[in-house]
Structure formats: structure tokens, C-alpha cells
């Protein structure tokens, strides 16, 4: 809430004193009779002191913190917490006004002590983003100071600041401070450029476990409470501080010594009590990931212990130094878990632990460099996950995520990876697919072009130069340029990080068999992109012959030796799309079953993008689906039909074509599943090879959702009914979503009705704390497509046992399903103020507009702009709203122009 400021006008006591002393002196002077007496001095003017304008972005560095001492009382069963905080700092200039950070804190007492004198202060919050002002009755002198605060505040219901959740019969609390939510937990100078040690004391009810970044060094009882004291941390920014309290289940071990670390590293997995029997997998497998990272960075884990904690409403994970926080289902699994869940474990744990070096040990100086922090960790997560378990084929996921980011980067509304951030409202918007997907892909592209060893040497040099400090993108680029010995690397990297958009490399075939490659900015149908140029690390393959060069001109002639079709993105590591003459497209499509996984992803993305730009045909998309479905790599085979599925998802197919599409998918994937076999029972495929298991899951998804295969849907619905009847061995967790969704659909047609069935699933969800079952059941209800269920969700499903994040999940599901999205749209429009003013955490405002991205209509784009642009102007979600409006509008233009042609081609499929 924005607080109003009141300023006090003060007279200058020094001027008044001077005036009082001067009058008697003048009266005592001898005055000549004919001389005029001088006029009396004018009264001293009143001096009104007002603070400088509030900094709505970076603080002015008038105060530099040196150390924090936090003493907080945290009882998760209570709605509020309290604390005493001391901050040692240097005040650089004398002033009555100090800006710092605090959001929705009830500060009872604030002061600063300098040179043995304590100066009381008044506290006021001056901006809704958590900018606060300390006002002193007299000017603070410059010097070394200790600021002290006594305050209390409310726990959040969502994953922001200090938040709490009831799990079963017990309350737990966790912290989530990135990006600017530490200020909701304690008064602070809350920005990444300030790194200092924290000494934390947590007072909790007896018997609760407390966790922070450093090891706990003392626990004692006092006044009916347990006092947990932790060792001082290494220098950290505020956003990496961690504080968790609850009756946790804890399993512990050590990471054995490695060549980089002579002593064992204490390791714990910490979760809510109901997960206690499924923590061993994370405990044992985190050890290898730590060892792989130490080997890559060439140095020991930088903190004295590693805790990995889970929270049921955490969206993703957070790299708190020595105390990472994860969504439950990322760590709560066992050896029988699906390939998808194991892939997520390896990638996300690799990502968050990579941050312990790259982000925690060396931290961005300001939020405009957060892209480097997240992009590098994203690339490392896939790389290290792949090293941990090569059989899971985790590494290709980095390319899949990068190509996915191109769908955002192809819009005219957007931002570069590296962009100036001047206000607090812009910070959270930087945590998007451009930072993670595009950034990670660009890092991979540069690493592949430089060579792995040179790139690693640059990373190590950068880390050594800024250990326990802050650094910028320019310093990272400088380290890379120095080790590469190639002066073109720096401008090439910056061409991808400092301008938005992505290159389209168009190939034309010359009469001598060579190609001319021309770069431009890719644009979707109905849009015109500005002229841009990149330094594109272009790698081509023809047969077994591979050739790489830096395309830093608009156009160049390329001669590729080898036999076979031209693959313009060898290995799929390049962050660019390509366009080919029709004969070359057709030849490449015909060879797609034998492409590598990365190349298959690149082909699927570029062909789909060509259709979206108005060039490739729907028939070509269908032919790619027909051929590449046989690719042995699960990423490539899964991407084979994405372009064709997009036509159906956008509503571009008429009734006849939609029927032909479903029949085509059934004929394409049905025989493959029949060959692989399908048994929905629990553990039926435990121990099966990862790629085989993943492929089966993909086939089931295509046949259930796209082909709507009646026999398979009936089989899954029957298994779900058996599960509901108490035979829980009938349905494996891998099939929860497909099983219960087909059951709900069947009940709406032949059973007791969809609403009654939905309420049955709802009660089962609420009664469960299982990190896979509960969200699966709620997701099935939300995305049912049933109007009566949607009406109940939006109007009446307000059970107090629902968590805030789950309530939002239900609404988003209604708004995302084509059959109920108008209902969800109207509800969100009516409740927008409530949603934006709540405690949904870092991603809610920035991602909220994405629920409307399924529309495909020029008229709807105009409506979205009218209904939401005024409310989101200047807020975190403004950019995502612009993107959504452009997506919906350009899709509508494409639909108007090409749906008849596409429907005619798809209707002919056999």
C-alpha cells in the first residue's frame, strides 16, 4: 500500500541564534548624528527540509550496508511474525533522510547510532514496491552507523517474502526473497549490489526445526520458545537469504570429498512430514550433481553445508546460498518415478546448485545483469543433469526450451536478454523465457562455437576475478574474449544479448551447387520487423560433413561439401531459424527420422515458423509428422507433430479437417503404442529404459488428447475408477492427469454428471498432501472444459482448505481451455485488482496475461487491449500483456488468411 508522506517545516536554529546575537552589538556602536542608522536585519527565513525524490529503482548508494543481525520470532501457526534487525553500515553524507526498503512492515521503533549517539527516526513506506523513508529530527552525521528496527508483519499466503502453508495438521513457513521480496520480511537495503554477512537468530515454538543459510551453532530453550542461532554467512545479497521453520522431516548425509574439496560436505533434504519416505532419492543423487559442478568450476562447493528444502506452493526453485528451496515434486520422488520427473530433478537441481557458484558466489551488480545469472545456470542445469544421468537424455531439453523461447522472441513486442532496468516494476518481468530459454540457448551456442575447454576456462577466470563479489555482463564478455583469442566473439555475443528478436537465415541455391545465406529478423505473418544484423555462429551439415563460420554480414556465399540434404543448424545448437527452397525443405523432411534430437527440434521449429510467416504449407507440416515420428530420440519424435497440432489448437481447421486431423494422429501413433504396449497399473514399467518410458508417455498423450482414441480413453477411465474405488494399484502416478481427465469426461456423458464427478475429485485432492496427486486432480477439474464445472470453480469452489496458488491454478485452467476460456476471461477481468493486489509471488503479475494467449482473433486482441492495458500500465505484467495482444492478433491474421487452405490440405490426409 502506498503511504502518504508528511513533511515537517523546521526553522534553522543556527540562523536564529546569529540574528539574536547581532542586534545588541549593532545598538552599542556609536552613530554619527548625520548618519542614517542601518536597517535592522531581516528575520531569518523559515527553512523547509524535504527529502529527495524517492528512488523507484536503484538506491542512491548514500548508505552502504556492511553486516546484518536478524533476530526474528517465527511461529507459522500465527498470522504475523516479529523481529529486531540491526544493520551495520557506512553513511556517506550527512542527511536527515535515508531511503531503504521495507514493504508492509509495521515498524514500532527505528533508530541509527553513530559515534555513540542514538538518533531516533520515523519510518514511512513511500511506494507500493517497498521503498521506505527514515526521517530523523536532526541530520545524521557521516560515518559508521548501526541502524536498528523493531517491527512485525504478516506472513504471506503465496510464495513471496516470508510465507506460510498448512500441510495436514501442521503449519510451516518458508522464505522466497527473489527478486525484491526480502523487504517484505525485514527492513533492508534490498538490492543485489550489496553483499554482506548475515547473522540470523530464529525464535520458534519448541520442537520445530529452523533452517537458514549457515550452519546452526546453538539451540536453547528460553521463555517457552526454542532459540536457534546460526553462524554468520559468507557475503550475500538480501535476495539469497533463507529462513524456514516447521516440523520438518529431515534426512541427512554428506557429499564425499572430491579433488576440489578435501572434507565431506554436510547435506540434508528437508520437507514436510508427509513426504518423509520419499527423500532418499534426492539425498543420494544430489551428491553426484555437486561433484560434477565442482569439477566444472574447478573449485569446492562455496558454502559450509547444503540444505535442499521443499515447499508445496513453491513455483519452481530458488538458489538460496546453502539452502535451496524447491517445489515438492522436484525432490519428492523415488526410483520408480517417471522419466519426466527424473529429468526435472536432474535439470533443476543442476541449475540451482550451479547458482551456488554463478549467482551466489559471484552475484550480478544490478538486475539488468540477472539474465547472465539465469541463462548460464539454465545451460548448466541441462549440461550437469545430462552428466549425472546420460540415459535420461536431459541435455536436449536445453534446445527444446531455447526453441520454445523463439515463439516469444519472434514478437515485435519484447525486450533484449540484456536490458536496462530502471524501476522496481521492471525487475520481475526479466524472469521470463527470454532470460531462461533464449539466454541458455545463446550460452550453448557460444560455448559450442568457442569450444568447450576455452569456454570453461573463461568461466573459471571470471569466477576467480569476482569471488564473493559482484560482476557485470561486460566483465563476463571480457573474460570470454580474452580466453578465446577471437575479437569477434564479444560483438557476436552482444548482438544476441543486447538486441531483441532472432535471426532468420534464408538459403537460396546457386547454379554451381553452393548456397547464398542471407540473414534478417524473423517476423510472423502480418508484421514487419526492423532491419537488424547479428554475428551468427552458423553451423551447417550435409551428410557427415560439418562446417561452421561466423555470419556477421547480411549475406554470404557458402559451399558445403558432403552428400545428403542440407541441415542449416547442425546439432540444433544455433539460436536462429532457417528458410529453405521447397525442394530442400522436402529433402530435409524426408531425412528427419535419422536426424539427431537437436536437429529434429530445429527442423520442427523452423518449418512451423515458416508456416506462421505465411510460407510453408500445412501439407509439409503433416509430412514432417508422418516421417519424424519414427525418430528414435524422444525430443525429436515428440516435436514431429507440434506444427500440425498448432493448427488445431488455433482453431484453424474446419469440422471436416479437424476430424481428418484426429484420424491422422490416431493412425500415426496408435500402431506405435500397440507395439510398445500399455498397462496403466502402478509400477508396470518400473525399471524400464528412460527413453522407452518417455516415448510411451508421449504416445499416450497424443492419442488421448489429439486423436481422442476411444479405446485408450476407456481403458484409462476404467483404471481411474478402480483407483477411486480403493484399488490404487490400478493407476500409476504417471497417468494421473490422463486417467482422471478421461474418467471425468466419461462421467459427464454416462455417469452421475460432470459437476458431481468434479466435486468427487476435488474432495480427493483436498484430502491428499501427495505432491503429484493433489495438483493433478485440481488440474483435471480446472481444465475439464465443462461449463457447469467452470461455473462452480469461479463462483463456489472457495473451500478454505484450498491454498492461494491452487485457487489461481483453478482459475487459470478455466481460462486456458477453449470451451470455457470466455468464462475465465470475464472472471479475471472482474477480479483483476484483487489478483494484482494479492500475494501470488514473483510470477503472478508478469505471467497473468499468458492465460489469454490461446485466443486467435484480431477482434479479441483489441478487446484484451481495452480491458487490461489501462490496469497493467507501468506494472510488471505490462510487457507480457503487449506480447499476448500481438500473439492473439497475428494468429488471427494468419487464421483469416490461411485457414481455408490449411483445412483443405488437412482434410485430404490419409
Active site residues: 352
The closest of 890, 889, 851, 908 to 654, measured between CA atoms, is 908
C-alpha separations of 93 from 96, 216, 679, 743 in Å: 10, 37, 72, 69
Question: Contact, 431 vs 417, CB < 8 A?
Answer: no
Query: Three-class SS of residue 265?
Result: strand
C-alpha separations of 133 from 109, 125, 189 in Å: 13, 6, 12
Q: Which residues contact 236 (CB under 8 A, 6 or more apart)?
A: 195, 196, 197, 198, 213, 321, 360
Task: DSSP letter for 425, please.
Answer: G
Helix (H) or strand (E) holding 870: helix 858-872
Radius of gyration over every alpha carbon of the chain, rounded to an integer in angstroms: 31
Query: Three-class SS of residue 154?
Result: strand
Query: Cell 502416478 belongs to which residue?
Result: 733
Report H helices in 469-581.
473-484, 489-497
84 marked as binding residue: no
Question: Contact, 631 vs 594, CB < 8 A?
Answer: yes
374 marked as binding residue: yes
Query: Three-class SS of residue 504?
Result: strand
292 marked as binding residue: no
The closest of 363, 596, 360, 358 to 456, measured between CA atoms, is 358
Task: DSSP letter for 434, please.
Answer: I
Pairing of strands 95-101, 131-140: antiparallel
Question: Contact, 681 vs 720, CB < 8 A?
Answer: no
Query: Cell 545598538 belongs to which residue?
Result: 27
The closest of 677, 707, 699, 688 to 630, measured between CA atoms, is 699
**Cα three-residue angle 182-74-164, rounded to 5 degrees:** 70
* 231/907 Cα distance (integer angstroms): 69
Question: Contact, 64 vs 89, CB < 8 A?
Answer: yes
Question: Contact, 788 vs 756, CB < 8 A?
Answer: no
Question: Contact, 286 vs 269, CB < 8 A?
Answer: yes
Residue 14 burial (CB count, 10 A)? 10
Looking only at Cα atoms, what is the longest distance across the chain?
Answer: 125
Complete DSSP assignment for 730-745: GS-GGGHHHHHHHHHH
The closest of 828, 829, 844 to 880, measured between CA atoms, is 844
C-alpha cell at 228: 536457534
Q: Which residues contact 506 (CB under 8 A, 6 or more apart)?
A: 517, 518, 519, 520, 578, 579
The closest of 395, 365, 426, 409 to 497, measured between CA atoms, is 409
* 862/881 Cα distance (integer angstroms): 12
Question: Contact, 96 vs 140, CB < 8 A?
Answer: yes
Question: Contact, 493 vs 439, CB < 8 A?
Answer: no
C-alpha separations of 368 from 74, 193, 532, 673 in Å: 33, 11, 22, 47
Please state the residue numbers annotated as binding site.
Answer: 351, 355, 374
Binding site as annotated, residues for Zn(2+): 351, 355, 374
Amino acid at each position: 500500500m502506498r503511504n502518504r508522506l508528511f513533511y515537517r517545516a523546521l526553522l534553522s536554529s543556527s540562523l536564529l541564534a546569529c540574528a539574536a546575537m547581532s542586534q545588541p552589538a549593532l545598538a552599542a556602536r556609536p552613530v554619527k548624528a548625520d548618519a542614517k542608522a542601518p536597517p535592522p536585519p531581516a528575520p531569518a527565513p523559515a527553512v523547509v527540509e524535504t527529502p529527495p525524490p524517492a528512488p523507484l529503482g536503484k538506491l542512491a548508494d548514500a548508505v552502504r550496508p556492511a553486516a546484518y543481525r536478524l533476530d526474528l520470532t517465527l511461529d507459522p501457526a500465527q498470522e504475523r511474525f516479529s523481529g529486531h534487525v540491526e544493520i551495520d553500515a557506512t553513511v556517506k553524507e550527512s542527511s536527515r533522510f535515508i531511503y531503504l526498503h521495507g514493504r508492509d512492515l509495521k515498524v514500532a521503533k527505528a533508530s541509527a547510532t553513530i559515534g555513540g549517539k542514538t538518533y531516533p527516526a520515523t519510518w514511512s513506506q513511500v511506494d507500493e514496491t517497498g521503498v521506505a523513508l527514515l526521517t530523523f529530527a536532526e541530520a545524521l552525521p557521516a560515518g559508521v552507523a548501526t541502524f536498528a528496527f523493531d517491527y512485525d508483519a504478516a506472513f504471506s499466503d503465496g510464495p513471496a517474502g516470508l510465507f506460510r502453508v498448512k500441510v495436514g495438521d501442521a503449519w510451516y513457513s518458508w522464505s522466497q526473497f527473489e527478486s525484491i521480496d526480502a523487504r517484505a520480511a525485514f527492513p533492508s537495503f534490498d538490492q543485489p549490489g550489496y553483499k554482506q554477512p548475515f547473522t540470523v537468530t530464529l525464535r520458534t515454538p519448541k520442537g520445530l526445526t529452523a533452517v537458514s543459510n549457515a550452519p546452526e551453532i546453538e539451540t536453547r530453550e528460553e521463555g517457552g520458545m526454542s532459540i536457534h542461532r546460526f553462524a554468520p554467512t559468507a557475503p550475500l545479497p538480501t535476495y539469497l537469504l533463507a529462513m524456514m521453520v516447521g516440523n520438518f522431516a529431515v534426512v541427512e548425509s554428506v557429499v564425499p570429498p572430491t579433488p576440489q574439496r578435501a572434507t565431506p560436505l554436510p547435506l540434508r533434504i528437508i520437507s514436510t512430514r508427509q513426504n518423509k519416505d520419499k527423500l532418499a532419492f534426492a539425498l543420494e543423487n544430489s551428491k553426484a550433481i555437486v561433484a560434477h559442478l565442482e569439477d566444472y568450476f574447478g573449485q569446492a562447493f562455496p558454502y559450509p553445508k547444503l540444505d535442499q528444502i521443499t515447499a508445496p506452493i513453491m513455483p519452481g526453485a530458488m538458489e538460496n546460498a546453502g539452502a535451496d528451496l524447491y517445489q515438492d515434486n522436484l525432490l519428492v520422488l523415488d526410483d520408480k518415478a517417471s522419466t519426466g520427473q527424473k529429468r526435472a530433478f536432474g535439470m533443476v537441481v543442476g541449475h540451482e546448485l550451479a547458482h551456488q557458484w554463478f549467482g551466489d558466489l559471484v552475484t550480478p551488480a544490478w538486475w539488468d545483469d540477472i539474465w547472465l545469472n539465469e541463462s548460464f545456470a539454465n545451460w548448466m542445469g541441462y549440461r550437469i543433469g545430462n552428466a549425472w544421468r546420460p540415459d535420461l537424455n536431459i541435455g536436449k531439453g536445453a534446445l527444446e526450451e531455447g526453441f520454445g523461447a523463439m515463439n516469444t522472441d519472434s514478437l515485435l513486442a519484447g525486450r533484449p536478454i540484456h536490458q536496462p532496468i530502471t524501476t522496481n516494476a521492471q525487475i520481475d518481468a526479466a524472469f521470463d523465457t527470454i532470460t531462461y530459454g533464449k539466454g541458455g540457448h545463446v550460452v550453448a551456442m557460444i560455448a559450442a562455437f568457442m569450444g568447450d575447454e576455452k569456454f570453461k576456462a573463461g568461466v573459471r577466470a571470471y569466477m576467480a576475478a569476482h569471488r564473493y563479489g559482484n560482476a557485470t555482463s561486460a566483465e563476463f564478455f571480457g573474460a570470454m574474449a580474452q580466453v578465446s583469442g577471437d575479437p569477434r566473439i564479444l560483438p557476436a555475443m552482444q548482438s544476441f544479448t543486447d538486441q531483441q528478436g532472432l535471426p532468420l537465415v534464408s538459403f537460396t541455391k546457386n547454379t554451381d551447387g553452393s548456397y547464398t545465406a542471407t540473414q534478417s529478423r524473423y517476423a510472423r505473418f502480418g508484421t514487419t520487423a526492423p532491419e537488424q544484423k547479428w554475428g551468427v555462429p552458423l553451423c551447417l551439415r550435409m551428410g557427415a560433413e560439418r562446417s561452421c563460420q561466423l555470419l556477421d554480414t547480411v549475406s554470404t556465399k557458402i559451399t558445403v561439401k558432403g552428400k545428403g540434404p542440407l541441415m542449416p543448424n547442425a546439432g540444433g545448437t544455433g539460436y536462429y531459424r532457417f528458410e529453405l527452397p521447397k525442394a530442400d525443405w522436402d529433402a530435409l523432411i524426408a531425412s528427419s527420422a535419422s536426424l539427431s534430437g537437436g536437429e529434429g527440434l530445429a527442423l520442427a521449429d523452423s518449418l512451423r515458423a515458416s508456416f506462421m510467416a505465411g510460407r510453408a504449407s500445412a501439407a509439409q507440416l503433416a509430412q514432417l509428422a508422418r516421417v519424424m515420428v519414427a525418430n528414435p530420440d524422444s525430443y525429436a519424435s515428440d516435436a514431429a507433430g507440434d506444427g500440425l497440432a498448432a493448427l488445431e489448437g488455433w482453431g484453424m481447421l474446419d469440422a471436416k479437417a479437424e476430424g481428418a486431423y484426429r484420424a491422422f494422429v490416431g493412425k500415426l501413433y496408435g500402431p506405435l503404442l500397440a507395439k510398445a504396449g500399455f498397462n496403466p497399473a502402478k509400477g508396470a514399467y518400473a525399471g524400464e529404459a528412460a527413453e522407452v518410458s518417455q516415448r510411451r508417455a508421449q504416445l499416450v498423450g497424443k492419442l488421448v488428447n489429439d486423436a481422442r482414441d476411444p479405446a485408450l480413453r476407456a481403458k484409462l477411465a476404467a483404471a481411474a475408477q478402480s483407483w477411486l474405488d480403493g484399488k490404487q494399484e490400478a493407476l500409476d502416478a504417471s497417468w494421473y492427469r490422463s486417467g482422471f481427465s478421461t474418467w471425468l469426461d466419461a462421467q459427464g456423458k454416462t455417469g452421475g454428471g460432470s459437476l458431481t464427478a468434479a466435486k468427487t475429485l476435488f474432495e480427493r485432492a483436498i484430502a491428499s498432501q501427495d505432491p503429484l496427486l493433489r495438483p493433478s486432480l485440481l488440474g483435471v477439474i480446472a481444465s475439464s472444459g465443462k461449463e457447469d464445472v467452470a461455473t462452480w470453480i469461479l463462483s463456489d469452489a472457495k473451500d478454505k482448505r484450498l491454498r492461494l496458488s491452487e485457487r489461481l491454478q483453478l482459475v487459470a485452467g478455466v481460462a486456458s481451455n477453449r470451451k470455457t476460456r470466455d468464462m475465465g476471461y470475464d472472471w479475471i477481468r472482474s477480479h483483476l485488482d484483487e489478483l494484482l493486489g494479492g500475494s501470488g509471488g514473483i510470477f503472478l503479475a508478469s505471467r497473468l496475461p499468458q492465460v489469454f494467449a490461446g485466443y486467435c482473433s484480431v477482434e479479441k486482441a483489441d478487446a484484451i487491449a481495452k480491458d487490461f492495458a489501462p490496469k497493467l500500465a507501468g506494472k510488471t505484467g505490462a510487457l507480457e500483456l503487449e506480447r499476448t495482444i500481438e500473439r492473439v492478433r497475428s494468429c488471427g491474421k494468419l487464421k483469416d488468411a490461411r485457414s481455408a487452405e490449411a483445412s483443405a490440405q488437412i482434410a485430404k490426409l490419409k
